[in-house]
Amino acid sequence: MTTEGDDQRGGDGRALSRDGALSYFHIPAVDVRRSAAFYGAVVGWTIHNGDTDRPGFVDGSGQVGGAWVTNQTAAPEPGLLAYIYVDHIDDAVDRVTANGGEIVEPPYPEGNLWVATFRDPAGNVMGLWHQGDR
């Protein structure tokens, strides 16, 4: 899972290794640098080694990290579908398209939530969600 140089601490300095926690994953990419820049711009993830062939990230919570990889197949159809929380779903949707992604399903309500799905530059489908008023 990790390689030399991978950061094992989240943005708050806590270890990413917590018993039973989802804390690290790979995101398939065609161009790892482009994918890293996309997620940095769209959802504000902290990017590490963004100018290398092995960029990694820590999400906005500081509790989940990972890396973009080219040795795994992109998920153009949702199987396991990760959702990323955003403060303003419409702004996030605008950032997806402005940074080379595609909206698969525009924002729709689910109770007091707003949810959308998008396709990243490598073709992976991921979700966005926002709680409260749109």
Dist. CA 66–CA 47, nearest whole Å: 10
- CATH for 24-131 is 3.10.180.10
The type of residue at 55 is: P
- Tens of pLDDT along 5-55? 444 555 445 566 778 888 999 999 999 999 999 999 999 999 999 999 999
- Tens of pLDDT along 119-134? 999 999 999 999 988 8
pTM of the model: 0.85
- Which residues neighbour 97 within 8 Å (Cβ) at sequence distance 6 or greater? 103
